[in-house]
Structure 1
Amino acid sequence: MLLLWIGTGLNLAAAGYACVSLWAWFRCQRAPATHQPDRTGRAVSVLKPLHGAEPRLYENLRSFCLQDHANYQLLFGVREADDPAITVVERLIAEFPRLPIRLMVDPRIHGANLKISNLINLLPLAAHDWLVLADSDISVPSDYLSRVTAPLSDAGVGIVTCLYHGVAEGGFWSRLGCLFIDDWFAPSARLAHAFGSTRFAFGSTIALRRETLTAIGGFGILCDTLADDFWLGELSRRAGLRTVLSDLVVGTEVSETRFSALWTHELRWLRTIRAIAPAGFALSFVCFTWPVLALGLILAPTLPNVLLALLGGGARVMRYVAQRRSTARSSHWHDIGLTPYRDLLLLLEWAVALTHWRVEWRGRELHARNHAPTRYS
């Protein structure tokens, strides 16, 4: 009897999540744009910390050089004088001579988080008070800056952030990595947002005013923090400012060509999420639709549970199809057949992520369970 109840509970939870996440996706698609693109020409400084020759780095950085925004500067920062990213930036400087682009090479390290060290070094070069931070592997449309900075005109807004979709560049494993983003991470973020949560901020984009950054303690307060993007948003919220999730979805490169690289990368993500929201992470197994439904049916092979499994599986397939029909991406439609394997791998990663807190990031071993920045704690 106990196994029957457990199996039924698993089927209810997994099917319920699949259906509600499908509803959240449609709700997001039908929501009207809350902010019109900024056409006032308010000056913006874009800070891009770089590290190494990442796949499609030139194409991704070039998309920031093609903005229709009237007044902005691009700031690129590296730590090493022989960093391959320098060649890419120099190519862009030559290609866009009229665009204010600056390259900074500064080896100073201000803490365990090398990305934040890079941003600390870059900030003095920022000529403007509206700031946009974006990871190096992000690609954006030409109206990106106009759209993500528009909400900053509201003094009550602290940061603006963007969801992102995966761009597969490395074959099978990168396609599986795209499903991690598109079929698990993004739907769960949309679902949280649909129920009113704004407890998020993504490295894909963080737009904020300089005064907000100063008020929360500056980049220095994050120099030993792993989840720096989340904490920029969290500290802003604790200061009484709102977080806006833009309706713009940007692209992020997924370039893993080996299972080991994908495993390490995703385990770092999951342990970071666990550190930020331990209770929610512990319950997130319900998001792994296929293995949870299968386990529920094994434990409770009854007709109601078969119907629940069909409902949950159908909602999962509908969400996958709807997401791809709504975008111009050349997605692998047959990747829908990979979703059971994707969910099973996620379930295994989730279980391993519960075992300890250490993560590998850019050649360093860090502890995901670091303490929150204390300025507004």
Structure 2
Amino acid sequence: MTPWISTTALAVAGVGSVTSAIYAALVVTAAQRFGRRRRKALNEPARYTPPLSVLKPLHGAEPELERNLRGFFTQAYAGSYELLFCARYESDAGLAIARKLATEYPETRARILTCGEPRFPNPKMYSLSVMADAATAEILVTSDADAQVAPDHLQRLAQELRDPEIDLAFSLYLAQADAPSLNLALDALGKSVEMNAGVLVADMLAGTDFSLGVTVIQRRDVFARAGGFADLGTYWAEDFVLGNRLAKQGRGVRISTHVIGLTVSAASARQSFENQLRWAQSTRRSRPLGHFGTGLTFAAPFALLGCAVGFARGNLLTALLFLAAALLQRAVLAGSVLRALGSTMAWRGAMLYSLRDLYGFLIWLGSYLPADTRYHGTQFRIMPDGRLLPPEPRP
């Protein structure tokens, strides 16, 4: 390694280590801010109980689906609520589970719908449009199949719309792998820490001008205000677009203090990587400048570069300082986020997060590859504006 290359590499490692440390400090501050807000909300009475329609799009019997759906049938909600489930066909295995649970809990109002083949490029959005048309309440809760909820989920979530100025609120989540696997553990850490850290910092610095779609509570008219189901259904990250358009109109969008669980289903290392890559490619198109800047928030790649230069120069102290600094700041960052979300195992995630940080950097690099994605058996391409290019019609 020539002196010029060595010096340049060390400078890059130093700059990256500083920017990642600054980001870690922002995350810790934002996490503490959210944690205080969450604790305050938990100590307040939850008395707002408007009628709710819960919309659950389904596609097959995903792992842990019965457990996840059961949580919605057993809600301790003081008001009235209905559950709507929708899949493409009556024979869908996910609908079979919903029917079984509806029989077990006849006191919970549940309806089973089918929508046929999706008419929008985004199949989830088409399913939601069918359920929204059938819903009876003026406040809708949209919830993905992998959402895990406690009995007070609806009671706590509904409080976000007590303020008439708030039109939409979304929940952050703690992800948990449903099988013992390193790649699933890293995936869960990415969803719990990496994703939520970025959301909390963005909210602290610029306010909430987006939404995340695992669980969202919103007034019925927000979809029309944001362009309608058909237009939103042309985007892959329709949840982000919905929240962003509402915020630009001056409508109230906020992060709910109610945190949910999220199932990370068993998958091979390749499938897990592809799933995470799909969302990173979507984020790159939703917020291109912010996503590009994310490259400077990772600590592990810069630490490894600094460590390599230190060893090449025979300076063991430099190498160890780079590694120790990265391990420490990543542990503090992860622990702060997990504690703010209410995790009881924050220390375990903190110890593993440096490895996730390196894995996340590789996903970030991969997000600049051509954005082909597969969802529920259909191949799409995510276009530069975030819209989905539908597959060519079959002859």
Identity of aligned residues (%): 27
Contact 2:330 2:350 in 1 (8 A): no
Cα distance in structure 1, aligned partners of 2:339 and 2:166: 32
| Match status 1:201 vs 2:211 | yes
User: Corresponding residue for 2:292?
Assistant: 282
Match of 2:157, SS? helix
- Whether 2:69 is the aligned partner of 1:61: answer yes
User: What one-letter code is carried by the residue in structure 1 that aligns with 2:358?
Assistant: L
**Matched letter for residue 86 of structure 1:** L
Match of 2:101 in 1: 92
SS in 2 for 1:165: strand
How far residue 275 of structure 1 moved from its aligned partner, in angstroms, is 0.6
Cross-structure match for 1:122:
131
Amino acid at match of 1:257: A
SS in 1 for 2:176: strand
Please provide the CA RMSD for this pair.
Answer: 2.6
Deviations 1:47-95 (A, max 9, x none): 1101111111111111112222221111010102221112211111111
Deviation at 1:114, TM superposition (A): 0.7
Flag structure 1 segments of 5+ consecutive residues without an equivalent. none
Check if 1:320 corresponds to 2:334.
yes
Q: Does 1:349 align with 2:350?
A: no
Show CA shifts across 1:345-366 (max 9, x none): 2222211211222222222222
CA distance in 2, matches of 1:54, 1:297: 43
The range that moved more, 100-109 or 32-41, is 32-41
Q: 1:15 aligns with which of 21, 31, 46?
A: 21
SS class of match (1:159) = strand
Which amino acid counterpart does residue 50 of structure 1 have in structure 2?
A: L
Matched letter for residue 121 of structure 2: A
1-structure distance, mates of 2:226, 2:52: 20
The aligned length equals 373
Change (3 A) 1:188 1:216: closer
2-structure distance, mates of 1:48, 1:183 = 25
Match of 1:139 among 137, 148, 163: 148
1:74 maps to which residue? 83
- Secondary structure of residue in 1 paired with 2:236: coil
The amino acid of 2:301's aligned partner reads P
1:364 aligns with 2:378: yes
Deviations 1:157-198 (A, max 9, x none): 121101111111022122121111123111221222222331
1:170 touches 1:256 (CA, 8 Å); kept in 2?
A: yes
Amino acid paired to 2:260: V
8 Å Cα contact 1:272/1:368 also seen in 2: yes
Deviation of 1:216 (Å): 2.5
- 1:31-53 CA-to-partner distances (Å, cap 9, x unmatched) read 36469565243101111101111
Identify the structure with bigger relative contact order (alpha carbons < 8 Å, sequence gap 6+). Answer: 1
Structure 2 gap ranges (5+): 1-6, 388-395
Deviation of the 1:292 alpha carbon = 2.2
Task: Judge conservation of contact 2:54–2:82 (CA < 8 Å) in 1.
Answer: yes
Secondary structure of the 1:283 match is: helix
| Alpha-carbon spacing, 1:281–1:40, altered in 2? closer, same or farther (3 Å) | closer
In structure 2, the CA distance between the partners of 1:101 and 1:370, relative to structure 1 (3 Å rule), is farther
**TM-score where L is the length of structure 1:** 0.90
Tell me what 2:157 maps to. 148
Deviation of 1:306 (Å): 6.2
Residues 139-164 of structure 1 show CA distances to partners (whole Å, capped at 9, x for unaligned) of: 11222212222232323212110111
Length-normalised TM-score, structure 2: 0.86
In structure 2, relative to structure 1, the CA distance for the partners of 1:330 and 1:11 (3 Å cut) is: closer
Decide which moves more: 341-350 or 324-333.
324-333
What residue is the counterpart of 1:51 in the other structure? 59
